[in-house]
Amino acid sequence: MNYKLLLCTLITISQIPVTADWATQTLQTLTLDQKIGQLFMVAAHTDENINKLHAFRSPYTMHKKYIEHLIKNYYVGGIIYLGTSDAEKQLQHTRHYQQQSAIPLLIGQDCEWGFAMRCKATTKFPYTLTLGAIADNNLIYECGRAIGKQCHAVGVHINFAPVCDINSDPRNPIIGYRSFGADKHTVAQKASVFANGLADAGVIACAKHFPGHGNTNQDSHLMLPMINDDKQTIMDRELHPFKELITNNIPAVMTAHLAIPALDKSNCPASCSPAIVTDLLRNKLNFNGLIITDGLGMRGITNKYKNGDAELNAFLAGNDILLCPVNVTKAHVKIKQTVIAQNLYGKLDQHVLRILRAKETIFIKHDYQFPTTIDKNAFATNSLIKQLFDSAITIVQNTQQLIPLTLQNNQPITHHAFGSNHQAFTNFLKERFVLTKEHSYLQIITLHPPSHRPQDNFGVKQQTIDRIKNLCHKQKTILIIFGSPYLAQQFTNTPATIIVAYENNDYTHRATLKVLSGDIKSIGFLPI
């Protein structure tokens, strides 16, 4: 599908020519209702049974006929795909929706670790925290570019990444492994090159969650978290990555549902705060790109606003795109009434023009060609993923100088495995070393936490932690953690050599074995 042709043939409101100033000309042809519709990026899903299956969890109506209704009657400007999807089916849905719309739709998706974040059949890239352990920023760039190619292959224009939150609070239930780490400079550097990779693949990167969701132990999907840092700390630390990316011309920023008294004493969500969205982000930080809310169905905002008020307040605060509106009908009516009553036509035009300029950049300046089939080359990423995991393995503690292992005459080693899904690594160990259940010269302990989230110590029971500590003091020990680096902090007071592999999969199993045997050097560093 050639979008230059699409723009000429589908815009029924006025048969305008495709020019370098398409956005301005298009804006002049839109009715008030059509302008308001452009603000909405609605939630969709490729599973027609999704509303029946997940009605108790999801506040959104996402079936195909309803999305068609919103496109035709409310002129919505974009779609975000939620849940797990299928690449071919998503491409078919997107093609269908684009054909229903007079103006090309912006398609967004959360692909922080590639399309695998939304498709179980796809090989995932490392989590963001794993990327934070990689010293070579060129690899981070290549990761962003490869993910961008996947987005393009499934018809996605905006990837809601990179996460620019500094994981200041280890208890953070929703950021954690989605952050590049706890150091503001590391987060800024990695996020910048990741965003550059997305851009070079022709995909809009979106820095989130402004002004920083890292220093809280609450989840904005469930409640409105409170950030109690003073203003100077927020400006110096939490905002640092966003400042760097704005300087680096990041095209979009997502605002968070957070109460931040130091920035807005009213304690309204940051996403609905004119002081945070307009005064700080737009004016003080001179951000000229798209400002997009976090999902407006999250309880961090729905607990406070009902029946279209969240969308209205987010619009008034200065957001351009209202992501995942719960009730488009009510939101549309309230925004229209307010625009008329308060004479906000100029404000509305500014927001819509930014959205149209983003579409102009994608569909005209980049000569966008809609994919007709899935480009399988975009998903042939095993070599890069292997290189990323190889580069992330981190030796936290090597006081006994046990790595690389120098075993003579096939000396046997003892292996103790704790946690879930550990048999695969045990099998790998057996291929390289002689294992025994008896006391040996050396023991390898592997910890495979069942969760990447910090609740209940990443799913590891305290008695397991105590048992591992006890084993570490009995003989020479190499402890390998196939999970969060925060777990390593619980063992640094033991004499064990500690390796953090960040994730529990074939890539990290093989990479760790190569480090143990000296085939590759550990070049990762702790991002926390």
Would you say 191 and 245 are in contact if contact means Cβ atoms under 8 Å apart? yes
- Report pTM: 0.94
CATH of 393-517, one of 3.40.1760, 3.40.50, 3.10.50, 1.10.20: 3.40.50
Is the pLDDT higher at 466 or at 408?
A: 466
Is the CATH code 3.20.20.70 the one for domain 3-382? no
Cα-based torsion angle of the residue sequence 500, 505, 506, 512 in order, rounded to the nearest 10 degrees: 10
pLDDT digits (tens, 9 = 90+) for 239-252: 999 999 999 999 99
**310: pLDDT confidence band, cut at 50, 70 and 90?**
very high
Buried b / exposed e over 269-283, threshold 16 CB at 10 Å, is bbbbbbbbbbbbbbe
Give residue 7's pLDDT. 54
Residue 45 is among the residues annotated as catalytic for this protein: no
> Is residue 8 pLDDT above 60, yes or no?
no
Rounded distance, CA 422 to CA 65, Å? Answer: 45
pLDDT digits (tens, 9 = 90+) for 31-41: 999 999 999 99
- In this prediction, residues 132-146 reach a mean pLDDT of 98
Give residue 481's pLDDT. 98
Give residue 166's pLDDT. 97
Per the residue annotation, which of 294, 351, 390, 448 is the catalytic one?
294
Q: By three-state DSSP, how is residue 332 classified?
A: helix
Q: By three-state DSSP, how is residue 194 classified?
A: helix
> Is residue 6 pLDDT above 60, yes or no?
no
Give residue 444's pLDDT. 95
Q: Residue 337: how many CB atoms within 10 A of its CB? A: 12
Residue intervals of the chain classified under CATH 3.20.20.300 are 3-382
Give residue 13's pLDDT. 31
Residue intervals of the chain classified under CATH 3.40.50 are 393-517
Give residue 370's pLDDT. 86
Residue 390 is among the residues annotated as catalytic for this protein: no
> Is residue 366 pLDDT above 80, yes or no?
no
> Is residue 151 pLDDT above 90, yes or no?
yes
> Is residue 18 pLDDT above 70, yes or no?
no
**400: pLDDT confidence band, cut at 50, 70 and 90?**
confident
Residue by residue, DSSP assigns 255-324 as EP--B-TTT-TT---GGG-HIIIIIIIIIIS---SEEEESPTTSHHHHTT--TTHHHHHHHHHT-SBEES
Q: To the nearest whole number, what is the mean pLDDT of the chain? A: 92
Report the DSSP beta bridge partners of residue 291: 253
Give residue 61's pLDDT. 85
Per the residue annotation, which of 54, 63, 69, 221 is the catalytic one?
221
**Tokens 């961008």, located at residue:** 148
